[in-house]
Structure 1
Amino acid sequence: MTCVPPRAIAVPPQPPAAGRERAAKVDERRFWAAYAISALGSGVGAGALPLVAILMLDASDWQVSLLAVLAGVAGVALVVPLGPWIEFHRKRPVMISADLIRFAALASIPITAWVGVLSYGQLCAAAVVQTAATIAANAASQPYLKTLVPASSRAWVNSRLETTTWTTGALGPPVGGLLVSATSPITSIGIDAISYLLAACGWRRIRQSEPPPSPRAGQRRWLADTVAGWQYIFAHPSLRQLFANAMLFGGCIIASTPLIAVYLLRELHFSAMQYGIALGVPCAAGVAGSLLAPTIIRRAGLGRTLLYAGAARCVWMAPILLAEPTTTGLLLIIASDSALLLCAGIFNPAFATYRMNVTADTHLSRVVGAWAMSSKLVQPTCIAAAGLLAAVAGIRTAIGVLAVVLLACAVLLPWTALRPADGRRRAHGDPGEAPARRPETPRPQGDE
């Protein structure tokens, strides 16, 4: 009898759906890795441009302030006309180009410093280009992420990015400070530049094919296309209220930062080390909030999380004024700031997911860009106003006014539109509200 060797067991081919799902997970990790590299570089390079102006170019106080103002105003002016172009083109090439532009702008500073021709004008130009490219990259990255991640995973992915932001924001500046102390601010800028180059390479490694951009509807009108992001926000009841809340909240927080530094160091006479502890320890609460966000969103619903975390983050500035120049006072400041950042860490991923869900694909780039550009203009205005108030009425009064304004921010949240009683039903991708009405030039028209 002839022995027939057993046949090799054939392995059935993997179902295409499973392969696609695995490839999508790999691309999500690549997106996160590129984002993390860029965020860490930005953390290390935070504040390095003003230090170059002060330590290497002997710039005056007025010139240092002008550097910040120019970066915001001129950067916004550069990117405003690009909004429609970004909207109707593929987003990943925009992200790669923006990172390469930021790499070139920042890398030019160490190069010119090395050959001895670095100037204040070049520093301003680099700051303007970096700001404009950052706004453009943000305007492209959110729509691209929306195509990359299914609706059921958006809250989790946004929470992971938020965790990365808080972590790199806590680790990066101390590392940058050590580099500045050991070498010069040029080193921090060089690392920041390299991080943008590595991030651009990371975006290129994503394999999932980007779908074609939404077609332009109707006749092309440059002015109408340019302001369409703001039109969309103001035509959408919840986005309009969230926009007002975000501008006021962000302006107050940014304006309070230099005032609280003066308050802690001069009014309460804490040491520089104590101030650093008060500044750094609460970042851990931001990380914790971002880690808790997916679970809270899943259990409470996206609407409830957005409203209650958004309101809770508005109440924690006032307790700082009760602090005394003692260890107990320092602990009170740390606890208050930690509570604020914990709530912010929960709110931010919920907000990013909600805005992504309710904004139509035809307008998401311009909505995100309009949001970022408005922040760049509002925040310096708030800093100037708070500084003037502090000069006239004192540091405590200025912080107290900002605390009251922050409390008012909670009222601006879309309590009626999101119907918090229904929040549990609207977990994850169900925001409880249809996308905004698409604005037609010159006024809004019907639902998409």
Structure 2
Amino acid sequence: MSEPDRASGTASEPVEPLEPTVVPDAPQRSLWRDGNFLTMWSGQALAQVGSQVTELALPVLAVLLLHATEFEIGLLNAAGVAAFLVVGLPAGAWIDRMRKRRVMIWADAVRAAALLALPLLWWADLLAMWHLYAVALVVGIATVFFDVSYQSIIPSLVRANQIAEANGKLESTRELANISGPALGGWLIGLITAPFAILATVGTYIASFVALLLTRDHEVSRDAEDRGPILREIGEGLRWVFGNGLLRRIVGTTGISNFFNTISFTMLPIFLLRELGLTPAAMGVIFSLGSVGGLAGAVATPHIVRWIGEARAIPVSAIAFSAVACMLPLAATFPAVAFPLLVVQGFIGSFTVLLYNITQVTFRQRITPPRLLGRMNASVRFCVWGVMPIAAVLAGALGTWLGVVPTMWIGASGQLLSALCVVIGPFWFMRALPDAQH
């Protein structure tokens, strides 16, 4: 659902000025006329589509071609997100010492190379589940570095008064990818099988690699003398996040929601393909149609924020996406209308998650000093994504013990609790969230 925050300091230099790493304000100009941002944006649009193809192709490959069990699917999901728990915190400190665009370039290269191994192994009739675990783990590690950099690079690409616009455009693209990617993935899987559909993702990561090579940023690397011990810098990032009461509540809601959402969605491929008997193409269409809500949410967020206020948008959206989670296992009770029920659930869930994410990510980026952005984002990611591998393994164990549908009900019930962190608190009594005080 969401991500991280940072901090840093030295004994000799109290606060580093913003100018080296943040594009200063200037007369407003639409990002549609900013060729540099458009170059980066176009590469990310293609990569997002490709990642959606693989998100569908990997579980289909495991369930239908390698006949994976519930526990094996849990392990596969855990491998994909384990990196956020294992290297999430040090990644933020390392990224704060490096040029973020360069980190993203290397991450794209690693992801493309790792995924290329799967169709080659399948073609050679050597592919096994452990190969999927290994590739998912490598891609997950590269994604940690890419995503933390991705969320931290925006202030060095656009002016401060364009950060919200840039986030809105990037989230809109993500949702367009969520709409087109699963449907494209389902079609490719039916046409050339799941292993070779992954080649489409490899191509899009290469396109992102090239676009980032052509992008220019305004970031300046931190001086070597401005770097403390790695553990101290990790601690600064954590203290920055948990020292802010509003951020603590946002992290609480997001982390709890992600934990229980992972329990539900780990079982989703088996639920759709085996329990409901749907085809991979139908599974892709459900994801695509549901994701239309995310695009609508990205477009509607500025209007909703103006209507109810930035602060209130957070608990309102949290209540909505937590409540509709119950519609997912409910589809098993009404199999005759499962398809439209799942589409409606996906639409409302995607709409409200996008409203929540754009609002809170913009708030985090706005209040965090530029030199702490990597550690801020890594700290939040560690907390809210680090729970996901644990939840995925638990989902596999619960699915084996209780069955798929009861496990999904546990996930849905837990999500109802997640909204409490932001519902009970100061958000209702504020209209605007605070600005940076550095």
Question: In the TM superposition, what is the alpha-carbon distance from 1:131 to its structure 2 partner?
Answer: 0.7
Paired amino acid for 1:163: S
Question: In the TM superposition, what is the alpha-carbon distance from 1:205 to its structure 2 partner?
Answer: 1.9
Decide which moves more: 131-140 or 79-88. Answer: 79-88
Match of 2:91 in 1: 82
Match of 1:36 in 2: 45
Paired amino acid for 1:309: S
Match of 1:355 in 2: 364
Decide which moves more: 275-284 or 336-345. Answer: 275-284
Q: Structure 1 residues 327, 217: closer, same or farther in 2, change over 3 A?
A: farther
* Aligned with 1:143 (options 123, 145, 152): 152
* Aligned with 2:138 (options 129, 132, 140): 129
Q: Hey, what's the Cα distance between the residues in 1 that align with 2:330 and 2:137?
A: 40
Match of 2:249 in 1: 241
Q: Structure 1 residues 21, 51: closer, same or farther in 2, change over 3 A?
A: closer
Say whether residues 1:313 and 2:321 are aligned partners: yes
* Cα contact 2:77–2:392 (8 A) shared by 1: no
Q: Hey, what's the Cα distance between the residues in 2 that align with 1:213 and 1:20?
A: 27
Q: Hey, what's the Cα distance between the residues in 2 that align with 1:389 and 1:205?
A: 47
Q: Hey, what's the Cα distance between the residues in 1 that align with 2:54 and 2:286?
A: 21
Question: In the TM superposition, what is the alpha-carbon distance from 1:393 to its structure 2 partner?
Answer: 5.9
* Cα contact 1:110–1:186 (8 A) shared by 2: yes
Q: Scaled by the length of structure 2, what TM-score is found?
A: 0.79
Q: SS of the residue aligned with 1:246?
A: helix
Match of 1:300 in 2: 308
Q: Structure 1 residues 53, 417: closer, same or farther in 2, change over 3 A?
A: same
Gaps of 5+ in 1: 1-16, 436-447
Say whether residues 1:99 and 2:108 are aligned partners: yes
* Aligned with 1:382 (options 391, 402, 407): 391
* Cα contact 2:97–2:222 (8 A) shared by 1: yes
Q: SS of the residue aligned with 1:413?
A: helix
Gaps of 5+ in 2: 1-25
RMSD (CA atoms)? 3.6
Match of 2:434 in 1: 432
Decide which moves more: 330-339 or 132-141. Answer: 330-339
Question: In the TM superposition, what is the alpha-carbon distance from 1:36 to its structure 2 partner?
Answer: 0.2
Query: Kindly, what percent of the aligned residue pairs are identical?
Result: 24
* Aligned with 1:225 (options 233, 244, 254): 233
Q: Hey, what's the Cα distance between the residues in 2 that align with 1:213 and 1:290?
A: 32
Q: SS of the residue aligned with 2:110?
A: helix
Q: Hey, what's the Cα distance between the residues in 2 that align with 1:405 and 1:131?
A: 25
Q: Hey, what's the Cα distance between the residues in 2 that align with 1:337 and 1:79?
A: 28
Q: Hey, what's the Cα distance between the residues in 2 that align with 1:49 and 1:391?
A: 20
Match of 2:5 in 1: none
Q: Scaled by the length of structure 1, what TM-score is found?
A: 0.78
Say whether residues 1:342 and 2:351 are aligned partners: yes
Q: Structure 1 residues 369, 332: closer, same or farther in 2, change over 3 A?
A: same
Q: Hey, what's the Cα distance between the residues in 1 that align with 2:127 and 2:338?
A: 45
* Aligned with 2:374 (options 357, 365, 373): 365
* Aligned with 1:291 (options 299, 307, 329): 299
Match of 1:180 in 2: 189
